């Protein structure tokens, strides 16, 4: 591992969280607890090689279905499920050095927190990861679109949400973020979380979908007939902000510059400071957003981080009144971004700058 060779005085690296473990191991296994910050599989790397640690409950499955040796891991250490501290002891034994000299993705037992370095290393997806991301993007878009296409005006937001989730689960994915809401709640709240309310006019579904450790994000809308002209105009304004942000995402451009383009785009549509009203998205991949940054945060490590080929991006501009635009894209070496969250059978529209966009689906009565 080249990073390990250059990261003196670090003697080894221990990965403990789901994002870092999935990145290093190729999605070793779905998480048992989908909300856990610490994985049931840890990975240990030194200049001599790599090994995994898991509990006695998971070891047989990991050994049989993942085959650690085939993925370059020379050892799979087992610890008792009832003694979580043994994970740290096993990591020290496998690394052959004290915990204080080991780096990790933020676990407090180890001496060096290198979380940001690891995020920077994984921003550029490998060809295999990009292919997996594309498959997930298509499945996630299909799940949300199929869930909305079956909406009957008057149906509860919870039922629409359940349908989207079912389609995702059938594709082997899950949704750490799933937001479904409509009508006056959509117009009032940026996050109209499903509350059992009937939706009669307009519905939004937002998903961050996850599979094998990778994430994509997208938003879709459906309406009971044509949308009002004022709402259509609001959508075009949001699309203009996203178009300007995407246009700035060329290889070599610092993320801080991209965020300034986003802020300027809000100003250009007459919504000065509009980005303050809602989280604006950013790089995605092995976390629902790999880092969080806002315009003007020049002290952030990520402000000067350059956009690069194979970075995945999901920007998320919105305006009060229920207008929002969000899809996942992959940066290419040159030329336009590649849309990741695409599934056929959904209507499209052309934004004012000429970019094809998912339109609002009109459903029958």
CA 165/CA 87 separation, integer angstroms: 34
pLDDT tops 80 at residue 5: no
Strand partners for 53: 42, 77
Q: Any idea how long the chain is?
A: 365
pLDDT digits (tens, 9 = 90+) for 301-358: 999 999 999 999 999 999 999 999 999 999 998 778 999 999 999 999 999 999 999 9
Q: Which two structure tokens, joined as six digits, stand for 160?
A: 């629409």
CA 3/CA 129 separation, integer angstroms: 20
Q: Do 28 and 16 meet the contact criterion of CB atoms below 8 Å apart?
A: no
Listed in sequence order, the residues at least 6 apart from 301 whose beta carbon sits closer than 8 Å to its beta carbon are 116
Listed in sequence order, the residues at least 6 apart from 1 whose beta carbon sits closer than 8 Å to its beta carbon are 13, 45, 47
pLDDT digits (tens, 9 = 90+) for 83-126: 989 999 999 999 999 999 999 999 999 999 999 999 999 999 99
pLDDT digits (tens, 9 = 90+) for 172-227: 999 999 999 999 999 999 999 999 999 999 999 999 999 999 999 999 999 999 99
CA 175/CA 141 separation, integer angstroms: 12
CA 321/CA 227 separation, integer angstroms: 13
pLDDT tops 80 at residue 240: yes
pLDDT digits (tens, 9 = 90+) for 51-88: 999 999 999 999 999 999 999 999 999 999 999 899 99
Looking at residue 26, its pLDDT comes to 87
High-pLDDT (> 70) share of the chain, %: 99
Strand order in the sheet with 112-113: 75-79, 49-55, 41-46, 12-15, 102-104, 112-113
What dotted CATH number matches 2-122?
A: 3.40.350.10
Helix or strand holding residue 13 (H, E) = strand 12-15
φ/ψ region of 47 (left if φ > 0, alpha if ψ in -120 to 50, else beta) reads: alpha
The domains of the chain are located at: 2-122, 127-362
How does residue 28 score in pLDDT terms, banded at 50, 70 and 90? confident
CA 237/CA 12 separation, integer angstroms: 49
pLDDT digits (tens, 9 = 90+) for 271-293: 999 999 999 999 999 999 999 99
Strand partners for 180: 205
Domain 127-362 has CATH 3.90.230.10: yes
CA 112/CA 95 separation, integer angstroms: 14
pLDDT tops 80 at residue 37: yes
């Amino acid at each position: 591992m080249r990073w390990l060779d250059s990261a003196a005085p670090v003697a080894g690296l221990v990965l403990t969280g789901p994002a870092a473990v999935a990145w290093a191991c190729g999605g070793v296994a779905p998480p048992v607890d989908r909300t856990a910050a610490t994985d049931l599989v840890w990975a240990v790397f030194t200049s001599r090689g790599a090994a995994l640690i898991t509990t006695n409950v998971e070891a047989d499955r990991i050994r049989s279905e993942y085959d650690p040796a085939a993925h370059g891991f020379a050892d799979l250490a087992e610890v008792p499920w009832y003694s979580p501290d043994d994970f740290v002891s096993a990591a020290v034994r496998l690394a052959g050095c004290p915990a204080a000299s080991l780096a990790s993705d933020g676990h407090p037992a180890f001496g060096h927190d290198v979380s940001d370095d690891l995020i920077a290393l994984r921003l550029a997806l490998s060809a295999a990861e990009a292919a997996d991301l594309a498959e997930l993007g298509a499945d996630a878009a299909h799940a949300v679109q199929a869930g909305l296409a079956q909406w009957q005006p008057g149906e509860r937001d919870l039922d629409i949400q359940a349908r989207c989730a079912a389609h995702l689960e059938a594709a082997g994915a899950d949704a750490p973020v799933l937001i479904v809401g409509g009508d006056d709640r959509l117009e009032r709240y940026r996050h109209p979380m499903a509350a059992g309310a009937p939706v009669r006019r307009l519905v939004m579904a937002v998903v961050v979908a996850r599979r094998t450790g990778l994430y994509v994000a997208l938003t879709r809308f459906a309406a009971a007939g044509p949308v009002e002209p004022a709402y259509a105009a609001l959508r075009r304004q949001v699309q203009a902000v996203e178009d300007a942000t995407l246009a700035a995402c060329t290889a070599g451009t610092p993320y801080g510059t991209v965020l300034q383009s986003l802020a300027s785009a809000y100003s250009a549509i007459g919504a000065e400071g509009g980005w303050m009203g809602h989280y604006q998205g950013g790089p995605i991949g092995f976390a629902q957003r790999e880092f969080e940054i806002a315009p003007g945060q020049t002290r952030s490590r990520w402000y000067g981080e350059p956009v690069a080929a194979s970075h995945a991006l999901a920007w998320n501009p919105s305006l009060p009144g229920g207008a929002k635009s969000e899809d996942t894209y992959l940066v290419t070496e040159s030329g336009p971004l590649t849309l990741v969250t695409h599934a056929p059978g959904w209507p499209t529209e052309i934004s004012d700058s000429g970019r094809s966009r998912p339109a609002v689906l009109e459903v029958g009565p």
